[in-house]
């Protein structure tokens, strides 16, 4: 027991040193509560064209199928909040895409944390995950006591907010497990009321097919005409349900240099965006999460905003 506590404390201290906002640990086991929710969400086809959400159903709910012998799930949060703003009237980009692609930034940090565990504890088997496998990030972060899943379905941390990335590491190592926290949404419905496309169909229920983030990033087809004039000028992602969340008044500027805003994103005028060429796109967004839409996707979104 003393060893478990010692290892857990050491891992959390190293995660903090690496710049993570928070670190929590939970037991690797089948997600009993999430299983029926995920099944009904998929049956209602609220995943839209995200077919991958239907794949590996069992692995998505049981981390021991991803890491044989897995005993612990270590969840980490990394702040990306920026108080910088794009020029008024320009196509809007979600804050998380202002700087370098978070996948690479977080994966490097998790590799360092894994290396630390090997040095301090010994031979430990496991894997790190940054949107790279069927892992239910928010569910594990909630189980690890890092926050609660709010009415907008984002993980929210008391007196911190929700502008952070979630990633995890699954290990075949017994550790000391944290307890979940309580829900602090109360009677607030700010996110539900503010969603431009009414994607939050009920508290804690998101219809991804109506979500602007899904429409501008995940959907590869033409954007449905029903959303014309409803996109609130978002060209990549959407921050509305976070911007209006009262807990995000506690958000603080991130301290990760790689997340510093690219000047092109913050300085581009509406005309610059509308005249964006594929060559310019490839130059500006080479190491950006925005590259995920590809030039054609971003151009499609910008043209749609003008209609």
Three-class SS of residue 1? coil
Q: Buried b / exposed e across 61-78, counting CB within 10 Å, b at 16+?
A: bebbebbeebbbbbbbbb
Please tell me the distance from the alpha carbon of residue 9 to that of residue 187, in angstroms, as a whole number: 36
Please tell me the distance from the alpha carbon of residue 274 to that of residue 279, in angstroms, as a whole number: 14
Beta bridge partners of 129: 168
Three-class SS of residue 76? strand
Angle between helix 102-121 and 2-17 (nearest 10): 140
Question: What is the set of active-site residues?
Answer: 131
Location of structure tokens 């952070």: 164
Hey, what are 185's tokens? 């949404």
Hey, what are 169's tokens? 């590491």
Using an 8 Å Cβ cutoff, are 172 and 260 in contact?
Answer: no
Hey, what are 235's tokens? 């060209």
Three-class SS of residue 126? strand
What lies within 8 Å, CB to CB, of 238 at 6+ separation is 92, 94, 196, 211, 212, 213, 216, 232
CA of 22: how far to CAs of 167, 178, 187, 190, 271, in Å?
Answer: 11, 12, 27, 26, 40
Query: Closest Cα to residue 213, out of 240, 237, 242?
Result: 237
């Amino acid at each position: 027991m003393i060893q478990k506590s010692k290892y857990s404390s050491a891992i959390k201290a190293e995660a903090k040193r690496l710049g993570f906002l928070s670190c929590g640990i939970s037991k690797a086991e089948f997600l009993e509560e999430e299983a029926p929710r995920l099944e009904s969400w998929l049956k209602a086809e609220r995943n839209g064209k995200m077919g991958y959400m239907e794949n590996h159903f069992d692995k998505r709910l049981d981390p021991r199928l991803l890491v044989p012998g897995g005993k612990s799930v270590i969840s980490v949060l990394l702040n990306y909040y920026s108080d910088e703003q794009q020029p008024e009237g320009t196509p809007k980009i979600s804050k998380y895409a202002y700087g370098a692609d978070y996948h690479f930034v977080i994966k490097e940090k998790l590799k360092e944390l894994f290396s630390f565990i090997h040095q301090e504890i010994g031979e430990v088997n496991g894997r790190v995950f940054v949107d790279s496998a069927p892992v239910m990030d928010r569910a594990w972060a909630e189980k690890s006591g890092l926050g609660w899943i709010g009415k907008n379905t984002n993980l929210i941390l008391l007196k911190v907010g929700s502008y952070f990335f979630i990633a995890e590491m699954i290990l075949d190592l017994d550790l000391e497990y944290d307890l979940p926290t309580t829900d602090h949404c109360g009677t607030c419905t700010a996110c539900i009321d503010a969603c431009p496309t009414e994607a939050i169909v009920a508290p804690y229920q998101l219809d991804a097919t109506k979500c602007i983030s899904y429409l501008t990033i995940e959907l590869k087809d033409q954007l449905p005409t029903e959303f014309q004039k409803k996109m609130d000028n978002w060209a990549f992602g959407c921050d509305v349900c976070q911007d209006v969340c009262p807990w995000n008044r506690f958000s603080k500027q991130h301290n990760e240099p790689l997340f510093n805003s690219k000047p092109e994103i913050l300085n581009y005028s509406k005309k610059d965006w509308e005249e964006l060429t594929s060559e310019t796109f490839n130059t500006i967004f080479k190491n950006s999460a925005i590259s995920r839409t590809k030039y054609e996707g971003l151009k499609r979104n910008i043209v749609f905003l003008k209609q």
